Amino acid sequence: MLCEKCGKNVATTHIKTSINGVVESHHLCADCARLSHAVQNQFGLSDLLGTFFGEGVKTVPYADKRKRCPGCGSCFDDIVASGRVGCGQCYETFLEQLLPSLQRMHGKAVHAGKRPRAEEAAPTRESELEALKEQLRAAVNAEQFEEAAALRDRIHAMEEEGKDHE
């Protein structure tokens, strides 16, 4: 197959895009692919990540768009434009806007990987609560309503205990 741009060389780069259900295929030789403005602009990592973060912009009220991270000074528009979060504090500052994108990218927004051994030895109250809530969901799905009621009461007691300590 020949390059569709120059028509001289063998096409070695094959690009398929799907935008709103419209699929386009392009076949370019190495030289034309390297020079192609479309390839350089369409497939940048920051563009890809920017589209993930970009959906949150639609729902961000105007007042929140002016909010800046106290750690690095980034605003949410900066994160969307670059596709990168400025620092660790950005996750806390822009949690509400980032959460839908993080859930879409990772399937969930809660850390499910490995933790340091010292942290594994002493589970936190939050991790215990999360485990109880998961057990509650499983009990309800299995229609074990007595167990579910006991778990619900235990969760409620732990949440009330947490409010007293705050």
Asked whether residue 55 is domain-assigned, the answer is yes
Q: Tell me the pLDDT band of 121, cut-offs 50, 70 and 90.
A: low
Instruction: For residues 53 and 102, state if they share a domain.
Output: yes
Do 2 and 38 have their domain in common? yes
The 8-class DSSP code of residue 11 comes to P
Single out the residue in 106, 131, 149 at which a domain terminates.
106
**Domain that residue 13 falls in:** 1-43
Examine the domain organization and report whether 102 and 57 are in the same domain: yes
pLDDT at 118 over 90: no
Predicted confidence band of residue 149 (pLDDT cuts 50, 70, 90): very high
Same domain, 33 and 75: no
Beta bridge partners of 10: 2
Domain membership flag for residue 30? yes
Same domain, residue pair 17 and 58: no
- Please check whether residue 111 lies inside any domain of the structure: no
58 and 101 share one domain: yes
Sign of CA dihedral 156, 159, 165, 166: negative
- 76/85 Cα distance (integer angstroms): 9
Q: What percent of the chain clears pLDDT 90, i.e. is strictly above it? A: 11
In a domain, 112, yes or no: no
Q: Which residue has the tokens 């419209």?
A: 22
* Sign of the CA dihedral with 7 first, then 13, 14, and 16 last: negative
pLDDT 10s digits, 11-60:
888 888 777 778 888 888 888 877 764 444 444 444 444 455 544 444 45
Q: In the chain, how many domains are there?
A: 3
- Terminal Cα-to-Cα distance of the chain (whole angstroms): 69
pTM over 0.85: no
Task: Specify whether 54 is located in the same domain as 79.
Answer: yes
| pLDDT for 165 beyond 80 | no
Residue 93: inside a domain: yes
Q: Are 75 and 32 in the same domain?
A: no
Q: Where are the beta strands (DSSP E) in the chain?
A: 13-19, 22-28
Angle at 144 between CA 138 and CA 150, to 5 degrees: 85
Q: Is the pLDDT of residue 65 over 80?
A: no
